[in-house]
Amino acid sequence: MFHRTFIVLFAALSLFACDTNADASKFVAGEHFEVVAEKATSKPEVKEFFSFYCSHCFAFEPFANNLSKNLPQGVALEKVHVDFLPAASPEMQNALSRAYVVGKNAGQGEQVASMIFNYLHRQQATFSTDADIRSLLLVNDFDAATFDKSFNSMPVLSAAAKMKEHQLFWSENRVLTGVPMLLVNGKYKLKFDKLDPENFDAELQQLVSYLLAKKD
């Protein structure tokens, strides 16, 4: 089930300047986050499971981008594109995973994600073939040679396969039940609906910071 809270998220976009260092003691297990594994990862990490076909993910994207820019040094937001939405075939969703990886490897992950989200949700267009994806990126000034060299390359195919691996693992463990989903340190799943929609951006960053530092 998708998170209904995202219908109000755009109202919080004006609050990006809010203090993100506020008292984090207000965050409670079972209310603001779920403990979904016994052990945390050896290094701090933040994973965002999302789909380009998900309207809630489209609404969440500005918050994800802002979060990514404000994570502690050495911690990156890892975006994991899933392929289980009914809006398109798994093959087409995998192709979009690869397109995102191509963009990310070229240092343009955020830009490519924005192109795809806008194409699907603002323009209400669809992808039928890999060539449609290529055309979208090229018309938005992505380098053709980079796309052609990388899209079906082993590193990109492997990265997309790794996304699928993460998807299957957390789906089989009944943790990944909808998107968007944020998972911190492989142990803590955020509950977006418990964050204040009027202060969502700041509280999201506070909660992620709290969980990254959490030792138990």
User: Which residues have CB under 8 Å from 182's CB, separation 6+?
Assistant: 46, 47, 48, 49, 189, 190, 192, 208
- Report which secondary-structure segment, H or E, holds 172: helix 154-172
Average pLDDT, the chain: 92
Question: What pLDDT does 143 receive?
Answer: 98
Segment 78-123, tens digit of pLDDT: 999 999 999 999 999 999 999 999 999 999 999 999 999 999 999 9
Rounded Cα distance, 166 and 189, in Å = 14
Q: Is residue 2 predicted with pLDDT exceeding 70?
A: no
The pTM is what? 0.89
Domains of the chain, by residue range, sit at 29-213
CATH fold for the domain made of 29-213: Glutaredoxin (3.40.30)
Question: What pLDDT does 187 receive?
Answer: 98
Integer CA distances (angstroms), 47 to 8, 77, 119, 192, 206, in order: 23, 6, 24, 15, 16
